[in-house]
Amino acid sequence: MSMKPTDVEWVEEPEIGFWEATFIPAIISGLKTTLHHVTHYKPVTQQFPEVKPNLPLHYRGVHRLNRDEQGRVKCVACMLCATACPAHCITIEASDAPPEWPDRDKFPASFVLDELRCIYCGMCEEACPVDAIELTHIYDLTGRTRHDLMYDKNKLLNVFDNTKNNPRDPVRTGRGKLGPASKFEELPTVAPATQVQDSDRSAQAASPGVIAPEPKEGT
């Protein structure tokens, strides 16, 4: 559809008066604004190393590999996280689980996560059937070389040891259990990763007019 001349609205500069032409009132009002900021000085800056930011609970930072109640790595090397990862930053080498671990077939012989390639989207966490990989609130990640930031299994388990008691980083689901994938006989009820209140709109039936427009009368 082409534009018609009537579609164009010509906006004209407002006419300027005497005082605007002398610049003086504009300069004075500008100075008033800036001086007001000096006299009513309220910076919102956080002094970072001394004051840590209060991050939201769903913040996605450095990953961790959870342990079960026996201290073993929860991961069963199913490769779902590596498959789900859009950045291809997870490399897992699976191997047969040792005989003293009867509840699973495989475990990760090596689990390397490139924190520099990761885009922290959290899809590994969503994909994991045994709640083994989770994202913590740790954001100040530094390293001297690129190799330092290739997090292997030990480092990721260390992150778990360091963050498991932090109230900001609870083990999200099935705390202390291995997870549903390893128990084929009796599947526990899977709780949602985020608790949904009954009063929440997402837990209720779709109300008319919210999602789809109401059908018009007579049609």
Partner 1 sequence: MPDILITLITIAIVVGATLLACSYLIWVERKLSAWMQDRVGPNRVGIFGLLQPMADGLKFLFKEEVIPSHVDKVLFLAAPCISLFTSMLAFSVVPFGPVDEAPWFMRFIIAPQIDIGMVFIFAIGSLSVYGVILGGWSSNNKYSALGSLRASAQVISYELPLGMSILGVALLGGTLNLEQIQMQQVQAGITGWYIWTQPLACLIFFAASMAEANRLPFDLSECEQELVGGFHTEYSALKFGLFFIGEYTHVITISFLTSILFFGGWHLPFIAELDSAYPFAWLVKLLVLLFKVAACIVMMMLLRWTIPRFRFDQLMGLSWKVFLPLGLMNVVLVMTVLQFHWSRVWLFPGSILLFAFAGAIAVSAKQRELQSRPQAHRRVTPPGSSAGGESALAVH
CA 172 vs. chain centroid, Å, equals 14
CB of 52 to partner 1, least distance (A): 17
Exposure string over 179-193, b if 16+ CB within 10 A, otherwise e: bbbbeeeeeeeeeee
Q: Tell whether residue 213 is a contact of partner 1 (CB under 8 A).
A: no
CB of 53 to partner 1, least distance (A): 15
* CA pair distance 111, 115, nearest whole angstrom: 12
Nearby residues of 65 by Cβ (< 8 Å), 6 or more positions away = 73, 74, 75, 111, 132, 133, 153, 156, 157, 159, 160
Of 12 and 198, which has the nearer Cβ to partner 1? 12
Of 39 and 142, which has the nearer Cβ to partner 1? 39
Token pair listed for 132: 């083994």
Q: Tell whether residue 50 is a contact of partner 1 (CB under 8 A).
A: no
The helix or strand, by DSSP H or E, that contains position 107, with its residue range, turns out to be strand 106-114
CB of 33 to partner 1, least distance (A): 7
* CA pair distance 201, 219, nearest whole angstrom: 29
- The binding track of 5-44 with respect to partner 1, each residue x by CB under 8 A or -, is xxxxxx-xx-xxxxx-xx----x--xx-xxx-xx--xxxx
Which chain residues interact with partner 1 by CB under 8 A? 5-10, 12-13, 15-19, 21-22, 27, 30-31, 33-35, 37-38, 41-45, 47
